[in-house]
Structure 1
Amino acid sequence: MTAPVPRIGAIAVVVTTGHVLLARRRNPPDAGLWGFPGGHVELGETALTAAARELREETGVLAEPLEYLTNIDVLRHDAQGNVTAHYLLAAVLCDFVSGTPSPADDVIEAAWVPQEQVRAGTLPMSDQVDVLMEQAIRRDQTRRGPPRA
């Protein structure tokens, strides 16, 4: 049996005033959970481009990829503790351009979710959604500068 090799994925993190764009997954391993739209990086494609493409394919929303937020290792194990899958996800901060979230591809729901709802943990969510949201909010505020009076 061939050992699993790490795969590269990209997720699109889009925040607006008071909301974050999330998608609920149809397929395992996160079936039924809310998380950031995203998927596999294709050969020759940057993770920045992949994040924007996956966002469009899964939700119909257009956004400009701005910068990398962080990387996340996702490791799946079997009952004996052996690694069965390893994904390295590049979290990409994206700036909303246009579109109304509509589920497509492997997404069963897509919506602008209030940031307070994410903080409260009232949705079933994938790992680190709240942490990434807060990181994106801070980075977006730094990038945009203080609000104007």
Structure 2
Amino acid sequence: MTTETNTEKPPVSVAIITDGGKVLMARRRASEGDISWVFPGGAIEAGESPAEAAVREVDEETGLEVEAVKVLGDRVHPKSGVPMHYVAVRLVGGEARVADDEELDAVAWITHGEIADYVPYGLFGPVQEYLDDVLPR
């Protein structure tokens, strides 16, 4: 009997939530290298689309109700090696909070000008372009 070890990282879907001229970032309780502030999200479960996973993860992590607007793109994250899907979502209701304190220790609504302070290594191109379009500068 042979055993196969799956070393591939499961795909993750993250939500780009904008409201009131700001975008929501979440700080992971355990950082991955120099990645600590991220967009809310998590692993895509069996049978879920990236959009469905992003909506579910936002609710689980931040308590916000959102709906998917469009998938912005996907890539293998250059720092973590994780397959990533980026989904623009619209805020439907709720107040952002740390709903999953095992995963997160903070959430913050940030302005366009603050993005580099939270993500000094830069955002994925399609995400940056989307935020350039929807956030005031």
Kept after mapping to 2: 8 A contact 1:102/1:110: yes
Larger radius of gyration: 1
Q: Which amino acid aligns with 1:117?
A: E
Query: Is residue 115 from structure 1 mapped to residue 109 from structure 2 by the alignment?
Result: no
In 1, distance between residues paired with 2:51 and 2:18?
16
In 1, distance between residues paired with 2:55 and 2:69?
10
Query: Is residue 134 from structure 1 mapped to residue 137 from structure 2 by the alignment?
Result: no
Q: With structure 1 as the length reference, what TM-score do the two structures score?
A: 0.73
In 2, distance between residues paired with 1:133 and 1:69?
7
CA gap of 1:25–1:44, structure 2 versus 1, over 3 A, is same
In 2, distance between residues paired with 1:22 and 1:98?
17
Q: Which SS does the other structure have where 2:82 is aligned?
A: strand
CA gap of 1:132–1:13, structure 2 versus 1, over 3 A, is farther
Which of 64, 67, 74 matches 2:67?
A: 64
Q: CA deviation at 1:25?
A: 0.5
Unmatched 5+ stretches in structure 1: 77-84, 142-149
Unmatched 5+ stretches in structure 2: none
Q: CA deviation at 1:135?
A: 2.4
In 2, distance between residues paired with 1:30 and 1:40?
19
Q: How does 1:4-83 map to 2 (within 5 A)?
A: 4-29=7-32, 33-74=36-77
Which of 84, 94, 108 matches 1:99?
A: 94
Q: CA deviation at 1:30?
A: 5.6
Q: With structure 2 as the length reference, what TM-score do the two structures score?
A: 0.79
Q: CA deviation at 1:131?
A: 4.5
Percent of paired sites with the same residue: 26
Question: Root-mean-square deviation (CA), in Å?
Answer: 2.7
Q: CA deviation at 1:34?
A: 1.1
Kept after mapping to 2: 8 A contact 1:15/1:136: no
Kept after mapping to 1: 8 A contact 2:21/2:134: no
Q: CA deviation at 1:74?
A: 2.2
Q: CA deviation at 1:88?
A: 1.0
Q: Which SS does the other structure have where 2:117 is aligned?
A: coil
**Regions of 4+ moved over 4 Å:** 130-133, 138-141
